[in-house]
Structure 1
Amino acid sequence: MTTLIKFILTLLTITCATTAVAQSYSVTVIDESTKEPIPFATVKLSKNTGTITNEEGIFTLGEYKLSALRDSVYISSMGYEEVAIFPKKVMDTIISLRVKTNELDNVFLTNNPLDAEQIIERVKENIVVNYPNALTEKKIFFRQSESDRIDKMDIEVEKTTIPEFNQVFMDSLVGSVAKKSDYYSESVGTLSGNYDNQKLVIDKAAKLYDKTKENVGVESFGKRLEEIIEKNVKADSYFKIKSGIIGTTIEVDDSTKMGSSNGGLKIEVDTEQEENDKEQAITESIKSDLSDLFEAMFYKEDTKLDFLTKSNRYQFTKREFTAIGDDIVYVIDFEPKGRKDFKGTLYVNTDDFAVMRLEYENVRKLSSFGMFGISYKKYLYKGKSIYAKDDNGGYSLRFMELENGERVGIDRPLKIIEKNKNVGGRRKQNEVAMEIEIANTSYSKKELVVFSTTSIDQGTYDAVEEIKEMEATYLSNYDPNFWKGYTIMEPNAAIQSFKSESK
């Protein structure tokens, strides 16, 4: 796609968004020369508050934020000159940033320049000072995107004595299973505490997904199979299911729920309860997701990102200098020397050696497993973080993104054996033997925007009460008016164009 076409599409997107929510102010931030959108640019509303552009360079100020503005909005991005605008007077939907032309390298022509390893050691020495784990109150926006896809699903019927369970039936069953599903959740609220313990009060939340495609892959296939067995089993019969050396017994009781008769696996089909679970418990669900994000804090002791804790096993290369706002930063690339997991880039403040921006991705599988025809691979762990200095001199999180990818494979035999309670001997009535091959890929992305950070004391934190019964609003299609009056991270094109088949 050419730069011109990208620019036109971006302009059309912003025009539509501005029309849909007239009281909001939507902007695309672009490079003045290339006209390409600038993702993750900083939008400063005041000294301690702001937002960020999305991956397509777009940000939106809600009606409340817009009306509360008393000064200019400052837009900046790494390597660009800062621009100041006042949205109440200037309603341009395209803002251009000019690349800084300063020869930054000349600023650091000294007799004793630091090399990459020395800079990394300074980073490690200053972590405690630069990233205090103090109690704060953060106004946040959190978005989670998930996608599940069946890459392969083959069911071969090798033997059957039940006419209904033939190859034609299995092909029909496989064809009825959704092969792809997408899910999005968004929430605005207040996160109190530190990075070890948090309390979350959600102001508003939404869930966007297609109810007709809730389960994809092995779970969906198994549920459909259980439903068919439940409808066809005789009152005095039960099914023995075996896969290799693993087996369980499934029978139907008077409540029409399926459970294990031998005290093992218990399976219950209750779609109404599952739907209630989707609409509730949003607070605990988001807190769990945030905990996953915070595990990717590069300076935490238990982080997966070990390029600092095991820096001797990574190669660091000082590439250049650039600017983030008024700060000049070292640009340092890192990659593993041997069998380590990550490569990426650090942007280190030349003044206090704080990492102001981090981009990373795995270079090898983080984990894998294969046994008895079941395989698992964690193939993707990729993210970025942006930090900014607070009034207390330390740095706090402004934006964090984490992408996860997993693949699951099953290649196993499966037997379904019907037995009857009222028949003597082995009680065997019918048998279906199949070979199952399934490959499933899951992808998720978590995005956290911190609009403002305020220090609080222990008493204030203790007084915070979470709303456990908070519910998320279900949306079958993207609705630009849902967040009217709120400032959020603008959704990307995939979310804006989402439409479900459910009514």
Structure 2
Amino acid sequence: MIRPLITFCLSLFITVPLIAQTVSSKLVDAKTQKGIPYATIQYGEHQGVISNEEGLFSFIIDERMTALDSIYISSMGYAKKGFTLEQLQDNVILLKPKAIELSGVYLFDKELTVDEIIEKVKERLPQNINKDAVKQRFFLRKAELGNIHKVDFGFERSSIKELNKELMDSIAASIPRNNHHYTESLGDLYQNNGKYKLNILKAADLYDKSEIASFEDLGSRMEAIFKENIKSDSYLKIKSGIFSQKVQVDSILSDMEEEQAETVQNELEKDTISGLLDSQRYIFKELLKELYHKEDSKLDLIEKTRKYHFELVGYADIADQGVYVIDFTPRRSSADFKGRLYINIEDFAIMRLDFENVNRLRNFRLLGITYREVLYKGTMRFAQLLNKKYELQFMDYSFGQYFAVDRPLKVVEKNKHVKGRRKQNELLLNIDFRMGHTNKWELVVFENSLIQEPQFTDYKEDKSVQATYMPRYNPEFWQGHTIMEPNQAIREFTVAEE
């Protein structure tokens, strides 16, 4: 039986400041006329926002802020420039490209080789990575993009009249070929020694509810057919290729009853308890473990430097700090990534890391089942805190997978209590299923504030916060809040009218 995978929630309304100003603009390359993605717009000493992948940005200024003389915009490959509020408001901002300096810009007591720079990075890592308790005001956007290339159950025969080719074809046809699901949340993340606590201020959930309902209808229909035609004291022999398994029917029916009871209980509780906070905490746990310095990260660049070739290509400025610009590529076939490092000249901290896989991270194929990790790409940026250590400021990360099943499936009902032949019913399929799935996360940290450990310990999470379901994008939802602007796909997201 198929049940909904997502809990739907009611809206949470947040009061908008009475006196506030929204500043909105778009950054464009003066030469190519294309939007400039993921540029930094700094409007306070420790406050700023990131442009989206199309160059759009907006932020809120309220009466509590000090009057701003200048707002500074910087992006790698462009000259840093200051603007007034009037210049930014509802305008297209042109930035001129600036080449990375190759030499002759910075003076050193001792000029280091690229290998010596990388060794300094590794040596300084414990001093540069923040481990103190911190509070981070964040905006997190997750896009789940599923594309099903083929669904064919390969119906051959069935002894149950209702379980026929037409039903199998209808199930295959009901599965959406392109599924888009967007979640957005604004709040505070409390971190301390690998532990996380969350304060969700507001959240949105964009997807097509009718797709879940169609799965429910088919699930109910399959359950009814199953109960009407299968004896409770039978067992099912399930065989796929050389593998087979026996399952008692009464245990399946019992599980169905328990699932129904659980579904009812969830419906009763969903007005007070949503899974939003727990799911968001899990997302942060999974996302932050991919930081380059984490043990579980797939990105083995610093852990296994011997597998990579490093080349110093020049120098640049990030947050008024001079940085080495170093490209890395696989030294041998066992390395998986290429990209670029921006390393602080003074303390050898990685301030920015751009990466992209050049090989499949996993490529599993056995007995008709294929699984591949085909995409691992993104950028990480880090900002220095008052304790002189570095914490995540921005992360754009995409992870893509491919999954396929091409194998037979045979289900036989047998019953030892029935006279004559034990075999009661039979279903034979040849399944051909192929799909690709990509998750994309965009995490912006607007403010990093060091806190005392008791502040982390004493903070109590509010699990009653719920996400607002949206069948179409609503530009008014985030009014009064600073976020990363949505891209065109999100702005145009809408559920087709029935």
Tell me the C-alpha RMSD between the 2 structures.
Answer: 3.2
TM-score (norm 1): 0.84
One-letter amino acid matched to 2:52: N
Corresponding position of 2:198:
200
Identify the match of residue 294 of structure 1 among 288, 305, 310: 288
Name the SS for the 1:105 alignment partner.
Answer: coil
Change (3 A) 1:172 1:469: same
Q: Counterparts of 1:50-449 in structure 2 under 5 Å?
A: 50-62=48-60, 65=62, 68=65, 70-71=67-68, 72-87=70-85, 91-100=89-98, 105-108=103-106, 113-194=111-192, 196-214=194-212, 224=218, 227-231=221-225, 233-234=227-228, 237=231, 240=236, 242-244=238-240, 245-249=243-247, 251=249, 258-259=253-254, 280-338=274-332, 339-418=334-413, 423-449=418-444
Offset, 1:214 = 3.9
Supply the distance in 2 between the matched residues of 1:248 and 1:273 (Cα, whole angstroms).
Answer: 31
Change (3 A) 1:212 1:252: farther
Checking the alignment, whether the CA contact within 8 Å between 1:476 and 1:502 is kept in structure 2 is no
Offset, 1:464 = 1.0
Offset, 1:112 = 5.1
Note if 1:467 corresponds to 2:453.
no
Offset, 1:158 = 2.3
Supply the distance in 2 between the matched residues of 1:232 and 1:296 (Cα, whole angstroms).
Answer: 44
Supply the distance in 2 between the matched residues of 1:94 and 1:302 (Cα, whole angstroms).
Answer: 42
| Deviations, residues 279-320 of structure 1 (Å, cap 9, x unaligned) | 821111111111112112112333322111111121111112
| Deviations, residues 110-130 of structure 1 (Å, cap 9, x unaligned) | 695322211111111221222
Supply the distance in 1 between the matched residues of 2:351 and 2:195 (Cα, whole angstroms).
Answer: 23
Supply the distance in 1 between the matched residues of 2:261 and 2:361 (Cα, whole angstroms).
Answer: 34
One-letter amino acid matched to 2:295: E
Supply the distance in 1 between the matched residues of 2:62 and 2:191 (Cα, whole angstroms).
Answer: 25
Supply the distance in 2 between the matched residues of 1:250 and 1:118 (Cα, whole angstroms).
Answer: 64
Supply the distance in 1 between the matched residues of 2:210 and 2:246 (Cα, whole angstroms).
Answer: 29
**What percent of counterpart residues are identical?**
36
Count of residue correspondences: 471
More deviation in 90-99 or 27-36? 90-99
Offset, 1:73 = 1.8
More deviation in 354-363 or 484-493? 354-363
Supply the distance in 2 between the matched residues of 1:111 and 1:86 (Cα, whole angstroms).
Answer: 39
Supply the distance in 2 between the matched residues of 1:360 and 1:180 (Cα, whole angstroms).
Answer: 27
One-letter amino acid matched to 1:166: N
Checking the alignment, whether the CA contact within 8 Å between 1:258 and 1:267 is kept in structure 2 is no
Checking the alignment, whether the CA contact within 8 Å between 1:320 and 1:331 is kept in structure 2 is yes
Checking the alignment, whether the CA contact within 8 Å between 2:379 and 2:397 is kept in structure 1 is yes
Supply the distance in 1 between the matched residues of 2:126 and 2:418 (Cα, whole angstroms).
Answer: 72
Supply the distance in 2 between the matched residues of 1:90 and 1:304 (Cα, whole angstroms).
Answer: 40
One-letter amino acid matched to 2:171: L
| Deviations, residues 309-364 of structure 1 (Å, cap 9, x unaligned) | 11112111111222224222221111222212221110112222221110112222
Checking the alignment, whether the CA contact within 8 Å between 2:100 and 2:316 is kept in structure 1 is no
Supply the distance in 2 between the matched residues of 1:180 and 1:258 (Cα, whole angstroms).
Answer: 33
Offset, 1:457 = 0.6
Supply the distance in 2 between the matched residues of 1:215 and 1:438 (Cα, whole angstroms).
Answer: 22
Name the SS for the 1:134 alignment partner.
Answer: coil
Supply the distance in 2 between the matched residues of 1:173 and 1:164 (Cα, whole angstroms).
Answer: 13
Change (3 A) 1:176 1:193: closer
More deviation in 181-190 or 194-203? 194-203
Checking the alignment, whether the CA contact within 8 Å between 2:400 and 2:436 is kept in structure 1 is yes
| Deviations, residues 377-426 of structure 1 (Å, cap 9, x unaligned) | 22222121011222332222110122111122112222233557973244
Name the SS for the 1:118 alignment partner.
Answer: helix
Supply the distance in 2 between the matched residues of 1:196 and 1:369 (Cα, whole angstroms).
Answer: 31
Supply the distance in 2 between the matched residues of 1:61 and 1:306 (Cα, whole angstroms).
Answer: 36
Offset, 1:103 = 5.1
In the alignment, structure 2 segments of 5+ residues that lack a partner are 1-19
Change (3 A) 1:268 1:27: same
Offset, 1:487 = 0.2
TM-score (norm 2): 0.85
Identify the match of residue 477 of structure 2 among 468, 473, 482: 482
In the alignment, structure 1 segments of 5+ residues that lack a partner are 1-21
Note if 1:26 corresponds to 2:24.
yes
Name the SS for the 1:24 alignment partner.
Answer: strand
